[in-house]
A and B are shown apart, each in its own frame.
Chain A
Amino acid sequence: MASITLEELLAMETACDRDEIVDLRSLETVSNYDDHLMCPICRCPFVRPVRLQCDHVFCQKCLNSAITALAASRDDFTCPTCRTPTRGFYLNVPRLLVNMCDDIRVRCPFRDEGCSEIVPRGHVQSHVDKYCGYRLVDCPDNSCSKKTRKKDLSPEGRCLHELHRCLRCDDYIMEQDYEEHVKELCPSLKTNCPDCQTSVFRKALREHIDTCPEVIHPCAASKYGCPVKVKRAELMTHEKICPLIAMGPYFEAQNARLDSLELTIRHLQQRNEIFEDGIANIRSTLVQSSRALTEDDGPPSDVHTLPTSNPDIPRRRDSSNNQSQIDSSNLYTATTTNYLLSLHESLREEVGQLSHAITDLDARASMAIMNECLRLKEDMAHTNAAVGSMRMQVQWLMNPRLHQGQRTGARPNNAAGGNGTPAASASGPSTAAGPSTAFLRPRRLSDSGREGTKL
């Protein structure tokens, strides 16, 4: 059992393809064959089967196209049926399988040309090749591109596609078809009517059959059940006495009536469905509202005094009306209950809206307060800072005065100590310069002050 590789298989396929005249897959099979003989890819009986490692069999050509279509790379080809990774292919499938496939009876591919041969599939190639007279071959005349049946080929190699005029019907017929035309097809030939045996022209046969008095015709009332089928000539007499013909117009009228009734019934059904849907909706809303009533005992005494603008109310009333049609005894109670219910509902809604508005306002007010507070805080911080800076300045301004105060307090002490005039003359300019420098450098002032005191 020699296996071949994928590349070898592909190479072989292209070589085999060339010498194939008949496409075995498009043949019309006559005998029944087992489904197991069918290639899972082309669903035809196997043509040149190939076996994979996993024992699945395919046509060689199908396998080839599967390889090119499925496998991204040549190395990971998997069996199209079981997906087993496959590298090896075996050409020697069991002889039994090949024989069974070759034994299937098929029609000659040139059946349309007139060959009625049925042969085993294995022989069809040679049949077409050697024996089939209907096989189409190229016209021996090189300038003519038409095809000719093999049996019609003239021994001299003449082109048979020239048009000849039929003497009887004035049609132009190719030479190869001329004989057949004259013998069988020409519309000017006479033929016998199958019913009345008169001979008519072939082209007029159809018209003749439509009027031939001998043709068997069913009674016109056959659709109403008249079983009579007589020749056209006798049909008239039958139709005069046939009771079903007499009844015909009545039947037709009945049919029309039935149709229209069916139509109305369908319409009514649709409408009925719509109504049922509506009633179901109304029921469910009713149930909901009654549940709401039992759950929530609102103050019903105020209800009447309040104006209502709820659009629900008319609908509810409608629904209660509907209800009342079903159960007329509950009419009064149902309407009043519904009215109260709807009022209650609308009140609830209004209260809900009000509470909503209140919370809204609340939120807005608190927001405004917050904003105001923030701004005030900021302002206060600003003023604080300003006050602080002012205090600083005041202190700064106060400083020289304080020092001066100290010095004026000290001078009487010096004067009391003795030689006061030089000290006074020395301190004179220093005090005069004092304030001007003191503005800029208070420390120096105190230094000069000290100098003054030392001198």
Chain B
Amino acid sequence: MGSQKRIAKELAELVESPPQGIVVRLADESNLYAWNVYMDGPADSPYYQGKFLLNLSLPIEYPFKPPTVNFKTKIYHPNVTNDDKGSMCLGMLRADEWKPSSRIHAVLEFARQLLAEPMPDDAIEGRIAEQYKNDRKRYDEVAKEWTRKYAIES
């Protein structure tokens, strides 16, 4: 019960003054625990001009348990799984790293930062991380291609 108040408060804050390049909506007006996040690709990244849809789902125990973030739009990124789940590997979202004082605002900003600067040492897709480290040009190309294919509506 306590979680609802805090979630509503955070949602109101995020809707009122959203972080740069991020728009937050409830996926379903009657459910506070599932959010849709629309994220613009950062300007100096291969994801530029892409519009990525993320699902952010909050546990009932929030803020004592961390939320989970999934990319619904396919993305070529070392820290996002390349399947239909699109799970994102964020250090602060691990159960033992999460603190109740962390805010969704920070989570979203961190996620967007990860688009600008992937963390290949903390990767979930080893192959992409390898490519990011060794063949940056090719990585940029593929990421741009995927962004054009999946994240830019025409």
Is residue B64 contacting chain A, with contact meaning CB distance below 8 A? yes
* Contacts A80-B101, A266-B154; A41 near B63 (Cβ below 8 A): yes
The reply to whether A69 and B9 form a contact with Cβ atoms under 8 Å apart is: no
Asked whether any CB of chain B lies closer than 8 Å to the CB of A140, the reply is no
Which listed residue, B2, B65, B99, B103, touches A81 by the CB 8 Å rule? B99
**Known: A80-B99, A81-B99, A266-B154. Contact between A42 and B6, CB under 8 A?**
yes
* Interface window among A59-67, A164-172, A414-422: A59-67
Inter-chain residue pair count (beta carbon < 8 A)? 38
Known: A80-B100, A80-B101, A81-B99. A43 touches B6 (CB 8 A): yes
Which residues on A sit within 8 Å (CB–CB) of B127?
none
Q: Give the Cβ gap from A23 to chain B, nearest Cβ, in Å.
A: 8
Is A66 a contact partner of B6 (Cβ separation < 8 A)? no
A66:B100 contact, CB within 8 angstroms: yes
Count B-side interface residues using an 8 Å CB cutoff.
14
Contacts of B100 in A (CB 8 A): 40-41, 66, 80-81
Q: Contacts A80-B100, A270-B154 hold; do A66 and B64 have CB atoms under 8 A apart?
A: yes
Main secondary structure of the interface of A (DSSP, over half): helix
The residue in A41, A61, A62, A266 that gathers the most chain B C-beta atoms within 10 A of its C-beta is: A41
- What per-residue 1/0 map shows which CB atoms of A63-88 lie under 8 Å from chain B? 00110011000000000110100000
Residues of A within 8 A of B99 (CB): 40, 80-81, 83
Q: Is the CB of B2 within 8 A of A65?
A: yes
Which B87-138 residues have C-beta < 8 A from chain A?
99-101, 103
Q: Tell me the B48-64 residues at the A interface (CB within 8 Å).
A: 61, 63-64
Report Cα–Cα, A26/B2, bound state, in Å.
11
Give the distance to chain A from B108, nearest Cβ to Cβ, in Å.
Answer: 16
> Is the interface on chain A under 10, 10 to 19, 20 to 34, or 35 or more residues?
10 to 19
CA of A69 to CA of B63, assembled, Å = 10
Do A69 and B61 touch (CB < 8 A)? yes
**A41 to B101 Cα, complex, angstroms:** 6
Which residue of chain A has its CB nearest to the CB of B62? A69
CA distance A83 to B99 in the complex (A): 9
Residue of B nearest to A56 (CB): B101
Q: Is A123 an interface residue (CB 8 A)?
A: no
Interface residues of A in 1-52 (CB under 8 A from B): 25-26, 40-44
B34 to chain A minimum Cβ distance, whole angstroms, is 20
Q: A43-B6, A69-B64, A80-B100 are known; give 16 further A-B pairs, CB within 8 A.
A: A25-B5, A26-B5, A40-B100, A41-B100, A41-B101, A43-B9, A43-B10, A44-B5, A44-B9, A61-B2, A62-B2, A66-B100, A69-B65, A70-B64, A80-B99, A81-B101
Binding site for A on B (CB under 8 A): 2, 5-6, 9-10, 61, 63-65, 99-101, 103, 154
A-B CB contact pairs (8 Å), 23 listed: A25-B5, A26-B5, A40-B99, A40-B101, A41-B6, A41-B101, A42-B2, A42-B5, A42-B6, A43-B6, A44-B5, A44-B9, A61-B2, A62-B2, A65-B2, A65-B64, A69-B64, A69-B65, A80-B99, A80-B101, A81-B100, A83-B99, A266-B154
